[in-house]
Amino acid sequence: MSRDYAKETANRVAWIKQTLESTGVSAVVFGSSGGKDATLVGILCKMACPDTLGVIMPCETTVNYGTDREHAMLLEEQCGIKHVEVSLTATKQTLLSAIGTPLNGLPSANIAPRLRMTAINAIGAARGALVAGTSNRSEIYMGYFTKWGIDGVSDFNPIADLTATEVLEFLRHLGAPEVIYTKPPSAGLYEGQTDEQEMGVTYREIDSFLLSGTVGPNHHIIERAHKATAHKRRPIAVYTE
Write out pLDDT tens, residues 46-64.
Answer: 999 999 999 999 999 999 9
Q: Is residue 239 part of a domain?
A: no
How many other CB atoms are there within 10 angstroms of residue 31's CB atom?
Answer: 27
Q: Is residue 206 part of a domain?
A: yes
Q: Which helix (H) or strand (E) holds 3?
A: none
Q: Is residue 240 part of a domain?
A: no
Q: Looking at residue 1, what is its pLDDT?
A: 54
Q: Would you say 58 and 31 are in contact if contact means Cβ atoms under 8 Å apart? A: no
Q: Is residue 238 part of a domain?
A: no
Per-block mean pLDDT, blocks of 10 residues, the chain (241 long)? 90 98 98 97 98 97 95 94 97 96 90 97 98 97 95 95 97 95 89 92 97 94 97 93 88
Q: Looking at residue 187, what is its pLDDT?
A: 85
| Domain encompassing residue 22 | 5-233
Q: Looking at residue 183, what is its pLDDT?
A: 93
Q: Is residue 241 part of a domain?
A: no
Q: Is residue 37 part of a domain?
A: yes
Q: Is residue 127 part of a domain?
A: yes
Write out pLDDT tens, residues 89-135.
Answer: 999 999 999 999 999 888 999 999 999 999 999 999 999 999 999 99
Q: How many domains does the chain have?
A: 1
Cα 128 to Cα 35, 54, 66, 81, 150: the distances in Å are 25, 15, 30, 17, 18
Length of the chain: 241
Backbone torsions φ then ψ of 194, nearest 5 degrees: -130, 150
**CATH number assigned to the domain comprising residue 23:** 3.40.50.620
Sign of CA dihedral 191, 192, 194, 196: negative
Q: Which residues of 140-153 are buried (b: 16+ CB within 10 A; e: fewer)?
A: bbbbbbbeebbbbb
Q: Looking at residue 150, what is its pLDDT?
A: 94
DSSP-derived 3-state class of residue 8: helix
Backbone torsions φ then ψ of 71, nearest 5 degrees: -75, -35
Q: Is residue 57 part of a domain?
A: yes
The CA distance from 102 to 45, in Å, is 40
